[in-house]
A and B are shown apart, each in its own frame.
Chain A
Amino acid sequence: MNRYLMVGITLALSTFTLAQAAPTRGGSVTVSYKDDVTTLDPAVGYDIQNWGIEKMVFDGLLDYEVGTTKLTPRLATAMPKVSSDGKTYTFTLRPGVKFHNGREVVASDVVYSLTRVLDPKTKSPGQSFYTSIAGAQAFVDGKAKTVSGLKAVGKYGVTVALEAPNAAFLNIMAMNFAFVVPKEAVAAANGDFGHKPLGTGPFKLTSWPSGQQLVFERNPSYYLPSLPYLDKVTIKVGLDPSVAFLSLTRGEVDILGDGIPPAQFLQVVKDPKYKASIFSQTTVNTSYMSLNTGVGPLKDLRVRQAINMAINKTKVLRIINGRGALAKGYLPPLMPGYDASEVGYKYDPAAAKALLAKAGFAGGFDTVLYTTSTDPNPRIAQSLQQDLAAVGIRASIKSQAQSTVTEAAGTKNTAPLVWSGGMAWTQDFPDPSDFFWPILSCKSAVQGGYNWPFYCDKALDARAARADQLVAPAQQVARLKEYASIFAALNKQAPWVPIYHEVRYMMKSERLVADSSLLNDPIHNIDYERLSVSK
């Protein structure tokens, strides 16, 4: 999943205050972000920022329960019926739900929205999630005009047929890509639906001067009568995180969308005044250094293992002021399938040196380490560089724009070492398959892919494929166990140096009523519809 989409499962770090009174209705809040919102088209948006904002304007058939990763119906009346072969899902829409333009949502809108994601003209980054629907590939290739697996049944019924059972399919149906959009509004926006979004959601976008702010106002006829709590949400963009922080202390901003800026972090966390305003959570993310298994000395397993022993992860954590959990294996702690008994590699430069000598590189070698040029990544890369130098590996740093780095990293035999910071892998949905297929499988070891080590073990691919066929609830334990063992095998082959799992710190104003489950929502990051302000 996109590096920005730092969704994660809420840690029990914050205590749920159950005794809280019912939230106040009305009022407005201001959220700050550094970067402009690129798009609010749910078929196109794919980053941490717009993932949550899109949910203000749109709804999907399915949603997650507040602050958890448990699926729940939203536009659908109930969870879908699944056929006995596990391949066909039947959804029923809530009747009477209206788009912001006043038209009722019907089954054909759902079919249209999913077809739109598959249509190459939409340029949806989520397209490949939905190609498992029957007939989708033929549609994508232009061999069919419609998707045979998607059918509207009557006014409110929708059936989705898959090519094969898929354990993660309902998670996929809860992704933003599957949000329901009205055909006529997409057509009226003339290709710019991302800036003129119109859906069924709890808020409507009322103004968006480019580069300044987005203003959302309550949808007065929302079908869930209790939501939203707020009358108005303003998203301010272009605010440097440090500036945003000071604005928050002056009462001009209610939520720091980018989290607490690193420069103020230590000072803020220590200040008792802010204690009630800060929420932290480990994200379902792994930041790693990729070791290209097709390049020079890195082809040698011993060299890759030696590098794993040469890296001082504690030092890296200190550079980021401890905002991370040290990574021993590949899966983050909150990902199903995580194995707490994994020990990984211990920091041991002497052993690393010895192993390098055994591999024939007693004198070390020269190599290149790629990193994105946004702070703190060049700094972390320099720390890795010093660790490598200590065992004789002379790495020169290439610090470049993110897209330049991903291009080099995704090209065979090009980037020997890549520091993943800023582009680290974070879950799309809470399932370990999402940490395997897109980044460590043979399928992804291709030009432009995200398997940066270009590591390919056909036996592991086959094992993961077999595991994904286990859809019955009774088989889940076995499935997760199999994935844990796949990742343990990967760690031994050392295509990565897993370094840390990011811990995210959110900060809010005093007047804003929200707990960690709303500000560190595992899926949508900020749960705008449930925010409220104190009287």
Chain B
Amino acid sequence: MLGFLGSRLLQSLLVLLAASFITFTLVFLLPADPARMVAGPSASVQTVTSIRHEMGLDRPFLGQYGAYLGRLVQGDLGRSYKQNTPVSTLLASRIGPTLQLMLGAIALELLIGLPLGIWAALSRGRWPDTVVMGLAFLGAAAPQFWLALSLVYLLAYRFNLFPLGGYGGLSHLFLPALTLGIGGAGWYARMMRSQLLEVLSQDYIRTARAKGQTARGVLIGHALRNATLPIATMIGLDIGTFMGGVVVVESVFGWPGLGRLVWDAIRVIDIPIIVGVVIFSAFVITLSNLLADFVQPLIDPRVRYR
């Protein structure tokens, strides 16, 4: 078990190293001059040259990458070109809102998905089943950015039920979290439905029924227990998909999280922020995969540490 953990950790580290290298290479190739961007249009060419030197941009690629890694190990992600603030400070101030958004989305996924899935399974073949499954498909097929705009238009603008955007309490959180989580809710509904159907068809259930324990609650409880493993795995995967989704959702809703931070940075090619967020995301994804690997056997003894 310790060996398993050790090898997974080592793997994760390698994954992160490779991710940092790929990201750094990609942004290094960007056809834009960060020194000019810092200097602004009116700055003379000499000013730009001196800024370029000051930023270390006149050094060869491997030198820049090596220096970056050296600082990364000490937890230093560099400073934003535009704002001159340490990237770690910016990340720290944006993690909270993004975390809220992700947790909100996961909560909504489960709160919407599981009951719908149960309802669909219990009314198998009848209209609620069809409707729920149809909605699940729609949720997976709807483009997030469009969903975000449509929700804003309908629920916030036309019916004035929610704030139009911005950061704040639960009412502000609801629409962005729903946008982020609606696809996942469909997945949970389908998963829950098939788990419950499986439970309903199993021999011991028939036995239990024969014995008179027909309470639906028992059956649902049983199916829910069976669903814990896929739920745990899916939440791990969700975090990965969310890291991309927050770019769109936070931009549309003006949510002050990592997604908007990185999208703003991409638009002005603020390389340290782009690299910082991508590496941080890779770290979070790797970590959540690692946790999922580690937690699965605890939930289900049939899964063994590989």
Contacts and interface: CB of A to CB of B under 8 A. Distances in A.
A123 B39 contact: yes
Where chain A touches its partner, the secondary structure class is loop
B42 A39 contact: no
Contacts of A140: 46, 50
Given A140-B50, A238-B167, A401-B32, A428 B39 contact: no
Interface string B238-259: 0000000000000010111100
B199 interface: no
Contacts of B266: 401
Interface string B157-170: 10000001111000
Given A401-B267, A403-B32, A194 B260 contact: no
B82 interface: yes
A127 B264 CA distance: 26
B56 to A, nearest CB: 12
Contacts of A408: 31
A120 B41 contact: no
A239 B152 CA distance: 13
Contacts of A128: 42-44, 46-47
B267 A402 contact: yes
A423 B93 CA distance: 30
A211 B41 contact: no
B86 interface: yes
A120 B97 CA distance: 36
A243 B165 contact: yes
B264 A35 contact: yes
B32 A39 contact: no
B230 interface: no
A125 B166 contact: no
A247 B160 CA distance: 12
What range describes how many residues of B lie at the interface?
35 or more
Interface in B197-255: 252, 254-255
Interface string B44-61: 111110110111000000
Interface stretch (A20-28, A301-309, A379-387, A441-449): A441-449
Given A44-B84, A239-B254, A123 B54 contact: yes
Contacts of B157: 246
Contacts of B41: 1-3, 406, 423, 438, 450
Contact of B51 (A120, A238, A447): A120
The 6 closest A-B pairs by CB, nearest first: A211-B256, A125-B40, A128-B44, A238-B254, A120-B50, A403-B32
Interface of A: 1-3, 35-36, 38-39, 41, 44, 46, 120-121, 123-129, 131, 140, 191-192, 194-195, 209-212, 236, 238-240, 243, 246-247, 401-404, 406-408, 410, 423, 428, 438, 446-450
7 contacts: A39-B83, A195-B85, A209-B256, A211-B94, A403-B36, A404-B30, A407-B36
